[in-house]
Chain A
Amino acid sequence: MCKKNKVGIQFFLQSINDVFCFFFDLGKRAKKTRIFYLISFLPVMMALLIKFLQPFYSNRNIEDPYIFSNMIMVFYLQFLILILSLFFGTSVCSEEIEGKTLIYLITRPISKASIIIGKYGAYMVLVILMTVIGVFLSFMILNINNLLDFSIYKVLLRDVSVLILGIICYSAFFTFIGTFIKRSILFGLIFSFGWENVIQYFPGSTQRFTIAHYLKSLLPSASSTRFSFLLFRLEPTSPRVAVLILIILTAIFLAIACLLFTVKDYILED
């Protein structure tokens, strides 16, 4: 029995790996990926512009790299990772249905759960790559005068980790939404820029119903000048609990997505 289970798990992992390779390869050359790479490089352009204009504005106290960094994090945390996770997460299932390519996947000797997890993994890695490359370049440009100060890399590592956690959790949520409802993009936009961007500023425990709350809880405390805009009205959860909740949410969203994808009949309309 134990051996049978082990073989089953190995087969499942192998299937996930096969699906991952298929969609990572496909995702790399997709037109959509190229467009989103361009969008993810907007902050790099912004950083270059700020750096270029910095000498002209030095008397206005905006040369502080923390302020620049603050702007970048606002752009990434409140906009870019949401958009990227939304478009890639929902397309895990919906692009197969809309493109009618689902048939090629579900008539292969792989479980439906492995299709969801494998494709989610492939798209998540693509989104992480897009984000991390952009963040890294922006950070380097903005801190070009402090590159020998190794403490800044600790900050970079923490910021990147928060963004990666955000991508993992948001992508899982949007993957679940994509398997569940037809007009997932519309719902996702309302969720991202309605719910997430509004509820997180509510005082009390209501803000705990957003993913953004747990991500912001991992950023430095509000007393710091850094991220002061982001942390407005934040009543933080402890970082350990925040990470745990984000991991649990990811697991729950993926589990429901796999379950739905396994039991639901997807009718491919002519």
Chain B
Amino acid sequence: MTSVIETHKLCKWYGDVLGLNDVSLKIESGITGLLGPNGAGKSTLLKLITGQLKPNIGTIMVAGEKVRNNYSLFSKIGFCPEQDSFYEEMTGLQFISGLLRLNHYPFPEAQIRAKKALEIVELVDEEDRVLRSYSRGMRQRLKFAQAVAHDPEIIILDEPLNGIDPLAKRKLIRLIKDYRDKGKTIIVSSHVLPEIEAMTRRVILIHQGKIFAQGDIHYIRDLIDSHPHIISVKCSDPRGLAEKLIKEECILKINFGSSKGSLLIETNNRDRFFGVIPFLVVENDMEVYEITSPDDNLQAVFDYLIGK
């Protein structure tokens, strides 16, 4: 498969701060997840790919063309920014159709396309509302609508699921998958692993401005699973539960937590742990109040992977 986006030895720094370091990538059509903790360099990479920033070193080719100041290329690109920023005095319809006019669509066609885009993100009933009155979730959907309204070949979404309720999140994920099925090239950035997992198996892990790993999400999962996870359980009988759990092969260590009734369990197989615990609880007639994973965030995962 030929790559749609290609970067070669890309470096970007902001004064003394390194934003991106030696990034060489090949992105093919379909969905690619860009995964990394906050400040990892995801947005910098996306801004470079969309020509918003100029790389200090390296080259970027999008659809076989250079991207910086190559204006005609932007009719093929749709970009959904991370920032929650709009022309607040406009209505939803005016915003989308106005931006479509900048894509050189005549007014009637811009109106038709704008309405269609608003329909896709289920905002058509709100099209005449001023943007400043939109909720966070509506604004996220509107940003997505402006990115796809001109039917681009390449869709770049910077944290598109931020601030959306679970139902709208599922709908948006479905929508992104629909665009993949139409043969589009989509890059989605996120710092939440399950969000990316729900969309694609192809991921790029980015951390401290470097590409840390790249490939199938199962490979990443395996990397993550090879490191122990800490799970906190609050229950009615922590001693009893600890006694039963310690016999399991997947359990490495159990500590009693600082608060009453809590256990801190270290496991090297999360899936096995979550398979076992419901049976133990039911068999021993225990009450479980809470199960959380204090280190189940991407920063912790990256810390494990880089051996911090």
Contacts and interface: CB of A to CB of B under 8 A. Distances in A.
Interface string B69-98: 101111101010101011101100010001
B292 interface: no
Interface in B99-115: 99, 101-104
B85 A31 contact: no
A29 B98 contact: no
Contacts of A63: none
A1 interface: no
Contacts of B72: 109
A144 interface: no
Contact of A31 (B79, B83, B89): B89
B175 interface: no
Report, as a range, how many residues of chain B touch the other chain: 20 to 34
Nearest to A25: B98
Given A103-B79, A103-B81, A104-B99, A110 B89 contact: no
A73 B86 CA distance: 38
A25 B90 CA distance: 9
Contact of A103 (B52, B90, B102): B52
| Contact residues of A: prevailing secondary structure | helix
Interface in A19-46: 19, 21-22, 25-26, 29-31
B98 A22 contact: yes
B102 A106 contact: no
Interface in A244-270: 262-263, 265, 267-268, 270
A18 B102 contact: yes
Contact of A107 (B14, B50, B83): B50
B58 interface: no
B74 A107 contact: yes
Contacts of B52: 103, 106-107, 265
Given A19-B102, A103-B79, A108-B74, A265 B85 contact: no
A105 interface: yes
A18 B83 contact: no
Contacts, number: 75
B55 to A, nearest CB: 10
B246 interface: no
A55 interface: no
A26 B69 contact: no
B54 interface: yes
Contacts of B50: 107
Contacts of B103: 108-109
B222 to A, nearest CB: 34
Contact of B71 (A101, A110, A270): A110
Nearest to A100: B85
Contacts of A100: 81, 83, 85
Interface string A91-126: 000000001110111111111100000000000000
B308 to A, nearest CB: 25
A64 B302 CA distance: 80
B146 interface: yes
Given A29-B89, A104-B146, A21 B99 contact: no
A146 interface: no
Given A100-B83, A101-B85, A270-B83, A26 B98 contact: yes
B51 interface: yes
29 contacts: A15-B102, A15-B104, A18-B102, A22-B98, A22-B99, A22-B102, A26-B89, A26-B90, A29-B89, A30-B89, A99-B87, A100-B83, A101-B86, A103-B81, A104-B99, A104-B146, A107-B52, A107-B77, A108-B71, A108-B103, A109-B73, A109-B102, A109-B103, A109-B104, A110-B71, A110-B74, A265-B53, A267-B14, A268-B83
Interface of B: 14, 50-54, 69, 71-75, 77, 79, 81, 83, 85-87, 89-90, 94, 98-99, 101-104, 146
Given A22-B101, A108-B74, A109-B74, 4 more contacts: A15-B104, A18-B104, A107-B50, A107-B51
